Every structure is written in C-alpha cells, then in structure tokens.
Amino acid sequence: MRRNRPTRSGRPSWRCRSMSTGRSEDRMRKVMNMSTGPTRRSGAALLGLLLAMLGGPAAWGEDRPNFLIVILDDIGFTDLGAYGSEIRTPHFDAEAARGTMFTNFHVGPTCVPSRAMLMTGVDSHLTGLPTLEHLMLPEQLGQPGHEGELNTRVATIAEHLSAAGYTSLITGKWHLGRSETSLPAARGFERSFVLDSSGADNWEHRTYLPHYTRAEWWEDFEFVEELSEDFYSSAFIVDQMITYLDEADPDRPFLSVVSFQANHIPLQAPREYVERYDGVYDAGWEALARERHAAAIALGLAPEGTPMPAFPEGLRNWSDLSPREQAASAMNRQVAAGMLEAADHHFGRLVSWLRETGRYENTIILIVSDNGPEFNDPGRRLAFQGWLAMQGYSRDLDRLGERGTYAWIGPEWAAASASPLSFFKFHAGEGGLRVPMIAAGPGVEAGRQASAFSIVTDIAPGLLDLAGAQALEGFEPFTGRSLAPLLRGEAERIYGEDEAVGLEMSGQSALFRGDYKLTRNMRPYGDGQWRLFNITLDPGETRDLTGERPDLFAELMADYEAYEARFGVLPVPPDFDGERRIEMLGWRAFGQRYGPWLALPLVLLAGLGGLFWLRRRKA
C-alpha cells in the first residue's frame, strides 16, 4: 500500500509502503496473555488503552508522571554546556539546572548495545544485540543473545509502561531491528517514526554508508519511501513527536522517546548554526582538550588534581597539520558544534510545547548520549572516498554542513570531546562509556550532581519505579538497578562497594566495582591488554594499578569472567579490529554495488589494448 501523508502545514511529507504483520501477532499474544489479538499495534499498548478506558487502578491518576527520554548520538562527556562545553546548549542546560546531573553514568561502547540496554533494562548479551551489526562475526550471529535484532525474550520499557496505561511514542533513531517482531510498533509503541540504520543523511532520504542500500525510515509497520523537501532530521523528529502527542489521549500519561541523529556522521547543520563557531576551534584539538579538562574540574565533574590523559597512540598533533588542513579540520568541528546546537534548539521547541499544553510540570525528562564521541574518519578509506564522489557529496568548506555535504571530526577532536576522559566511541575507556546524563522533573532532586556509578540498564527499572508500575512477567528480568533512589535524592549510590558490573562489546570490555575499573581496549586504538584503574581519583585512566594491586586485579578478573559466563559473552579473536572489519565490509558493499560499472571500462580498455596489439603484430 502506498499513501501520501500531509505535514501539519498540509504539504505531502512522506510516502509509505506497508509490511505484513503476521508474525507480530505472536508477540502481542505473549505480552497480552491472550489467545487472539489485533495486528496493527502492540498488545501491551492496546491492553493499556483498554484498562485506561475502564478506569484502571486509582494510581493511574494525574500524579503519574509523563516521561520524555531524549537520546543524543555520539555526544562526548563534556560536549554539553552544562558539562563545560563551549557549544551553546541552553535548553539542555536548563534541565540540568533544575534537575540532577550524572557524572559517573555509563553506556555501551557503541549505539546498538546501549540502545538495547536502555530500552530493556537488560544486559545487551541477552537482548539479541550485544554489538553493532557490522561487527557481528559469522560464528556469533544467530547464537542465543546474538540474533542481530531485539529478540522476543526481553520486553521494552514501552511494553512495561503501556501495560500500565501509558501511551508510548517514539521518533528518530531506533536501530534495534526492522522485522515484524523488532520494530517499535511491535514492541509497545503505539506510534513510531524511526530510522532503523546506524545513521542516515540529515537533509534527504538517503543512506550515509555503502553498507546500506537505503535509509531505513519506518512509520509504524510501513517503510517510508519519501521524506519532505524541507526535511532536517532534528526538526522533523521533534515535529513528528509533537504531532503524535497532539493525537494521543490527553488523559493518559505518556512515554515519549525522541532520538536525535545529532551528532552521528554525516555531520550536517543549517549554515547559521555553523557560522556561530567561526574561529572557535582554530587553536586545535589539544587546546580544546585542555579547556574541557579545566572546565570539568571547575564544575566538580572531575576531582581536583585529575590528571590530563594523553591522546591514544597514533593520533596526530595539531601543529603537524598544514594551515589548509587545519582550516578544513576546524570547519568540520564547527559543523559538529552547529549540529548539536540545532538539536538543542529543536528540543527547546518541544519543551515549549509541553509548557503550552500544561504537561511540562508533570513530565520527567531524561537526556542521555548513547556512547562517547565518534572517532571515525571515513575520508581515509579509498573505497569511501569513491563512494562519496559517486553519491555527489561535497566537502566544500564554504558550505560544509548544508544539504549535499558530508562532515566528520575524526579521532583527535573526538578525544577532546571526551576530555578529561580517555578514548572515545568503540572503546572501553571512560571516554567511550561515560556520557552526560541529565534528569529533571517531578520528584527529581534539583541542583544536584550524582557522582555514584550508574549504568544504562538502570533507566528502565527506574522509570517503572517512578510510575508505580510493575514489570511484565515471562521475560528476562532487569539486570540493572532502579535509578529512582538517586533521582529522588534518597540514596547516594545504588550499587554496593563490592558489587561488580560488567560490559562487553566485540572484545571492548570493562568491569566496575566500587572505585575501581578493570578494562581492555581493543584495536583500532587499544592494544588488547587488561588494565586496572581507580576511576574515582583518576577518571582519565592515566595510572595502571595492575602492578601495585595484583590481588585486586585478580579479583576483578575473576568477577569479569563470572560476568562473561553469566551473560553468554562470545569471544572475538585477540587481534580483532572493529574499524578494519567495517572497512572490509565497506569494500565488499562497494564492489557488489559498483563492481560491474567499474569493471566495464577495464574490459573496454583491455579490448582496445588487445586490438592495438593485434594491429602492431600484423604490421
């Protein structure tokens, strides 16, 4: 089925193609515990609607909070203004001022496991998505917990809350699967308009990598074939959420998930935002890292005396770049700043709408990044450069960030975005795992910093606690702890000093216990060696304590091995390099898509060469 949908202004906005939803019925029946069920919406959502219509428990009154989860993509620990950044993020900062800022909050090394854990409250190895799909090895794919999409053994926070009477809605990046059982429409969300790819162009309906043949935009169960001509991702994601909230039953509390593409590559932003940062980055990435380090200490996000971490081995010095290279690099960084400020602006529009409709005061807002800053520098790959040229993407500095352009910051600026922490996305250093997290709203203590360790699996059980709702039975139980005591200011910590919490993604590994962290950073910028740090005193992981505390190192190694056994972690080879694997897959996709076209000129040249040889021989 194809249909045109109008925008709020009446112009056609997108065109969809429907998907059969037969397999989603089994999922609905499991959630609803019914023998029959409808085929268009999640069973939990419909059950919640039915119970709400019947009146529901007395606890479903006006005192039940709404929830707005804002997911930022690839944002470093100090990228928000409230965390010491030079980037203007007044609307995110306002929520930090009226709520709680987390200074020791952790996610996975990359988007997929983080989002799976956020949505389910369950360790990623039980969700079907323990790593990015491009990093899944053939021998891992299909193994329990490695299905390559959100499996049906876990329930989402939307399913839990919908069964308790909430309206659940999502717009923006999903990236947890697009099958009839893994799309958000099958997992508790009554309305959804999502991107089920790692990223996409922010101005147009097209992919951003040769690995994908199309940008996977979906509304409910329908593939979206066209987007509006005036599409910009941050604006559209907010507009669509406002539309869904407008259409929702105002008497039911809501869960709203707004998942921005900012700041995932390609970095793109309206020119007026980019130009606001003219000259800001001309001193280079080392200068920015020092500024962020000092700001974090001044704001109390890191303790006095926190050592300045060295950049990972292999990164360049700003002074080694030519003036032309410096100008190009600074402009890419400006686009990143403009893209984040634009996202903040559109988030502010959503906050204004909540105020105008009287819902703001009863809405708990969470703002979080899915991992540390993006280090990827795709321009270094020959295949990718060819793909960019074939797609017509421009790197023209005079209009970088605008429609038809493609920007990225690379590992050096990423390291500065994570300062005073070490490493960045794809790695298990604190710069890849520790991200900004802000909570504000009714019942959340205001003007406070939460320095206790917490992790992304703590969000789902925390929201259920705040809603006074029970978890659905028959699914994997939460592996995280409820954040509610921290949010209410009732506790200083939710994990004991001797409780160990593990993380793993394609060999990038960490084990947290009390003040200490055991960690292993794999390639491309790690060496695969285990190290021990006191991340309370040394959040930048500058001093390896393995030799000084061998007994503690052994204890934490045993804890980590127990974590792997408990959650079914499947190992990768000791020399596994995620960046190299993605590059290899890029070459393969490039060859499959363009190989015949590239081969044709070679065949013609060979033929002409053969004719020339024959003529000379006859002569």
Beta bridge partners of 427: none
In 521-572, the DSSP E strands lie at: 530-534
Residue 297 in any domain: the answer is yes
pLDDT for the residue numbered 580: 73
**Tokens coding 243:** 């539309």
**Tokens coding 13:** 């906005």
Separation of alpha carbons 578 and 506, rounded Å: 8
pLDDT for the residue numbered 60: 40
Confidence tier at 381 by pLDDT (50, 70, 90): confident
- Whether 91 and 19 share a structural domain: yes
| Mean pLDDT confidence for 603-616 | 65
Q: Which of 323, 338, 347, 485 is nearest to 401 (CA)?
A: 338
Instruction: Please confirm whether the linkage preceding 253 is cis (ω < 30° from 0).
Output: no
**Tokens coding 596:** 């015949």
* Contact indicator for 534, 545 with CB cutoff of 8 Å: yes
pLDDT for the residue numbered 361: 97
- Whether 406 and 548 share a structural domain: no
Q: Which of 488, 512, 543 is the last residue of a domain?
A: 488
Residue 292 in any domain: the answer is yes
Domain range for 408? 2-488
In 103-141, the DSSP E strands lie at: 105-106
In 462-577, the DSSP E strands lie at: 500-505, 508-513, 516-520, 530-534
CA distances from 49 to 168, 194, 420 (A): 11, 22, 47
Separation of alpha carbons 285 and 474, rounded Å: 50
Beta bridge partners of 504: 509
Residue 233 in any domain: the answer is yes
Q: How many domains does the chain have?
A: 2
Residues of the chain above pLDDT 70, percent: 84
- Whether 203 and 329 share a structural domain: yes
| Average pLDDT of the residues of the chain | 89
pLDDT for the residue numbered 3: 35
- Whether 433 and 559 share a structural domain: no
HSE, side-chain direction, 13 A CA sphere, residue 406: 22
Separation of alpha carbons 52 and 163, rounded Å: 10
Separation of alpha carbons 131 and 425, rounded Å: 13
| Mean pLDDT confidence for 24-41 | 46
| Mean pLDDT confidence for 305-327 | 97
- Whether 419 and 509 share a structural domain: no
CA distances from 403 to 194, 200, 247, 389, 419 (A): 21, 13, 31, 15, 31
CA dihedral 526, 530, 534, 538 (to 10 degrees): -20
**Tokens coding 295:** 């700001």
- Whether 507 and 361 share a structural domain: no
**Tokens coding 500:** 């160990």
Asked if 16 is an active-site residue, the reply is no
| Mean pLDDT confidence for 56-84 | 84
CA distances from 20 to 39, 146, 223, 530 (A): 9, 25, 11, 48
pLDDT for the residue numbered 601: 65
- Nearest-10 crossing angle of helices 24-32, 43-53: 40
pLDDT for the residue numbered 520: 98
Element (H or E) spanning 150, and its range?
none
Q: Is the pLDDT of residue 2 over 70?
A: no
Asked if 111 is an active-site residue, the reply is yes
| Mean pLDDT confidence for 77-88 | 98
pLDDT for the residue numbered 212: 85
| Mean pLDDT confidence for 78-90 | 98
Confidence tier at 517 by pLDDT (50, 70, 90): very high
Pairing of strands 254-259, 66-72: parallel
- Location of structure tokens 């039911």: 252
Residue-wise pLDDT for 317-332, tens only, equals 999 999 999 999 999 9
**Of 91, 106, 134, 175, which one is the catalytic site residue?**
175
Instruction: Tell how many helices (H) and how many strands (E) occur in the chain.
Output: 16, 18
Q: Is the pLDDT of residue 62 over 80?
A: no
Question: Over the Cα atoms of the chain, what is R_g?
Answer: 24
Residue 517 in any domain: the answer is yes
- Location of structure tokens 């406002």: 242
Residue-wise pLDDT for 186-244, tens only, equals 999 999 999 999 999 999 999 999 888 899 999 999 999 999 999 999 999 999 999 99
In three-state secondary structure terms, 532 is strand
Separation of alpha carbons 603 and 609, rounded Å: 10
Residue-wise pLDDT for 94-148, tens only, equals 999 999 999 999 999 999 999 999 999 999 999 999 999 888 899 998 899 999 9
Residue 45 in any domain: the answer is yes
Q: What is the CATH number of the domain that holds 554?
A: 3.30.1120.10
Beta bridge partners of 518: 511, 532
Torsion sign, CA atoms 292, 295, 301, 302: positive
- Whether 333 and 378 share a structural domain: yes
Q: Which of 435, 459, 488 is the last residue of a domain?
A: 488
- Whether 413 and 511 share a structural domain: no
- Location of structure tokens 């403009």: 338
Q: How many CB atoms lie within 10 A of CB 139?
A: 10
pLDDT for the residue numbered 385: 87
Torsion sign, CA atoms 207, 210, 214, 219: negative
Residue-wise pLDDT for 221-230, tens only, equals 999 999 999 9
280 Cβ contact partners less than 8 Å away, ≥ 6 residues apart: 86, 334, 337
- Whether 247 and 297 share a structural domain: yes
- Location of structure tokens 């854990």: 117
pLDDT for the residue numbered 4: 39
**Tokens coding 396:** 């023209």
Q: Which of 74, 83, 56 is nearest to 467 (CA)?
A: 56
The more confidently predicted of residues 32 and 589 is 589
- Whether 70 and 204 share a structural domain: yes
pLDDT for the residue numbered 46: 56
- Whether 271 and 397 share a structural domain: yes
For the ranges 2-11, 237-246, 430-439, 557-566, the lowest mean pLDDT is seen at 2-11
| Mean pLDDT confidence for 378-390 | 85
Separation of alpha carbons 124 and 61, rounded Å: 34
**Of 91, 111, 346, 427, which one is the catalytic site residue?**
111
Q: Is the pLDDT of residue 56 over 50?
A: no
Residue 606 in any domain: the answer is no
pLDDT for the residue numbered 586: 61
536 Cβ contact partners less than 8 Å away, ≥ 6 residues apart: 303, 515
Beta bridge partners of 407: 267
| Mean pLDDT confidence for 165-174 | 98
Confidence tier at 63 by pLDDT (50, 70, 90): confident
**Tokens coding 619:** 């002569």
- Whether 93 and 125 share a structural domain: yes
Residue 343 in any domain: the answer is yes
Q: What is the CATH number of the domain that holds 52?
A: 3.40.720.10
pLDDT for the residue numbered 50: 54
Residue 244 in any domain: the answer is yes
* Contact indicator for 502, 563 with CB cutoff of 8 Å: yes
